[in-house]
Structure 1
């Protein structure tokens, strides 16, 4: 899919019309296009924090706050920000599906509060993957150590982990494109059809140092049990 097609697809997955921005972790790193939506709560203007003047990602405000939201009624939905990449699928990690389709991945995350952290985190994750996609293929179980450091040095859940998305009840969102002219196109003179390209969404969650130690020392099953038993709010990256 091109950027316009991906934007339409992702827009249908999000709870409200998103804001679209182009971001990068710093000068000299690749740019990524990100859609983000503020949901729940009530900020001063309901807006999500943006990138800096140079498009670089950043962290909390001068007082260390990450939201700036006004108090909400007790029964209101918690203030959260959802962010998803729109062009991380341009990264070719060499992954294939069972039927031989090229597998590409967009990244989504949710953070507590109305802030720029969610958009900055998926940008940083896409950047880290792009640096060596064959060593860091974007599939469930990939750990991205110290990812949060690129966003906010005060972030306590600073290690990234990719998991199958748990935001939708009907499974992992995906789009399967088939090229009837063969893998590289070229018209109808081919008498075969490449299985095509599958684009899916992977969810980024953030782990604290203790959770990261469990994941790397005892495995992902152990950290999943730890998080479940403690009823950890994975969206709170400053927990």
Structure 2
């Protein structure tokens, strides 16, 4: 899926607000300012192969590309990373740099850091310049299944033989389709990160629910 197609698709998923695009760490990031929250998403992270596959069908929703067919096939899974942060103009740089930093950590890890739910990202908040503002307490990150859409995780399906290059370095297998999915980045405080290390991601998620933590608040 080409970058302009990805931007159009991501815009269709995002809330209404003032939109802009920035280039950071070799990635293009789409920003939406809703007036109360900032949503930032990569739009070309999917050009990187991750070695993940899943069964798919051309009719798989909520967004479908290609012929109307019920035939199933194996799809190369490619994520785009997004985050939601409470705030406005002051938080836009943090949100943009956070998703770019997360994408960069995966890209540069040599396969040690995976773009999948449950992956902890040490220092991603620091890389996103959280240290530049002493009021920001988020220093790390967690990739998780998105919860912001009621109908499940949005994804774009491309059938085998109809996959378009996402970038000049993209490598394709003609026998594979492609499923581009949304993956959410949650920024974590030091205490939350170490809780996840000690009790696992599930333990952290349970603790956050019990505490009623607002994980979009970068100053919690």
Q: TM-score range by the shorter chain?
A: 0.7 to 0.9
Q: Secondary structure at the match of 2:74?
A: coil
Distance 1:181 1:171, change over 3 A: closer
Query: Are the equivalent residues in 2 in contact too, given 1:89–1:106 (CA < 8 A)?
Result: yes
Who is 2:154 aligned against? 173
Unaligned runs of 5+ in 1: 25-30, 41-78, 185-192
1:6 matched to 2:6: yes
* Misfit runs of 4+, over 6 Å: 181-184
Offset, 1:37: 0.8
**Uncovered stretches (5+) of structure 2, i.e. residues with no partner:** 56-72, 166-173
Normalised to the residue count of structure 1, the TM-score between the two structures is: 0.73
Q: Which has the higher helix share?
A: 2
| TM-score for both structures, normalised by structure 2 | 0.79
Higher share in strand = 2
CA–CA separation in structure 2 for the residues paired with 1:183 and 1:84: 20
- Distance in 2 (CA, whole Å) between partners of 1:4 and 1:183 is 12
Q: Secondary structure at the match of 1:219?
A: helix
Q: What residue is the counterpart of 2:64 in the other structure?
A: none
- How far apart are 1:35 and its partner, in Å? 0.7
RMSD of equivalent CA atoms = 2.0
Write out aligned runs for 1:118-157 (5 A): 118-132=95-109, 134-151=111-128, 152-153=130-131, 154=134, 155-157=136-138
Change (3 A) 1:183 1:195: farther
SS at match of 2:215: coil
Q: How many residues align?
A: 187
| Alignment partner of 1:92 out of 24, 46, 49 | 49
* Local SS of the residue matching 1:19: strand
Q: Does 1:33 align with 2:33?
A: no
- CA deviations 1:32-52 (Å, max 9, x no partner) are 111111113xxxxxxxxxxxx
Higher RCO, 1 or 2 (CA under 8 Å, sep at least 6)? Answer: 2
Q: 1:182 & 1:103 partners in 2: Cα distance? A: 12
Does residue 159 (structure 1) correspond to residue 154 (structure 2)? The answer is no
